[in-house]
A = this chain, B = another copy of it.
Amino acid sequence: MRDGYDAELADVSRILVAMAEAVRRAMSDATTALFTTDEALARRVIAADTVINEHHQQVEDSVYGLLARQAPVASDLRLLVTALHITADLERMGDLAKHVAKVGLRRHPLPAVPESLRRVVADMAAVADRIAAKIGTVLASPDAVDAATLALDDDEMDRLHEALFRILLGASWRDGVEPAVDGAMLARCYERYADHAVNAGRRMYFFVTGSVLHPVDPGADGLVAGEAP
């Protein structure tokens, strides 16, 4: 019984790793498509989201199966429910990558990101990628130091989000309304993607080690920079 349980749990882990890699590649490709106005690549990102959704369904089905058949004790139980949380975060990260790809197509062949925002959007994408990479790393070899730095990356994302809003709401903004709205939407996508990645990373850490790294904030709200407190 226990052997079957362990084997099936290992399968769930493998699917989660595959999902983490897929959502990292999805956002990375979506960003490339955005900056190079590569329509074909953007469409591939959009199409590939169905694979991520299938993985998500596989994890949910496996976890329900394990819960039903094995009646696991408290610690295993918490582990299985953690897997449900992780897959939900990863699935949503895939959606956000798809969203970035779609913003990239909106005014194709015109670039969605004006020159004035390229640097800050590229920096946000880089932070998002770094956080996404850590999810896979944590699962492959849980390392508290690595996992703990997730929060620092998230702080950097917040700073970049503020910087982007200072540019597009600043007096020197000359790119008009549509690029401002697209820029704000892109910023929100990268920021929410990072929020989910931080949550998924912390939960991955728990999933692998059984110990809580930080209290996970279930509703880390990506606040728009410049908002009143």
Contacts and interface: CB of A to CB of B under 8 A. Distances in A.
Contacts of A173: 177
Contact of A180 (B68, B95, B106, B177): B177
B218 A88 contact: yes
Contact of A68 (B74, B221, B224, B228): B74
A151 interface: no
B67 A77 contact: yes
A59 to B, nearest CB: 11
B168 A91 contact: no
Interface of A: 53, 56, 64, 67-68, 71, 73-74, 77-78, 81, 84, 88, 91-92, 94-96, 98-99, 102-103, 105-106, 108, 165, 168-169, 173, 176-178, 180-181, 184-185, 188, 218-219, 221, 223-224, 226-228
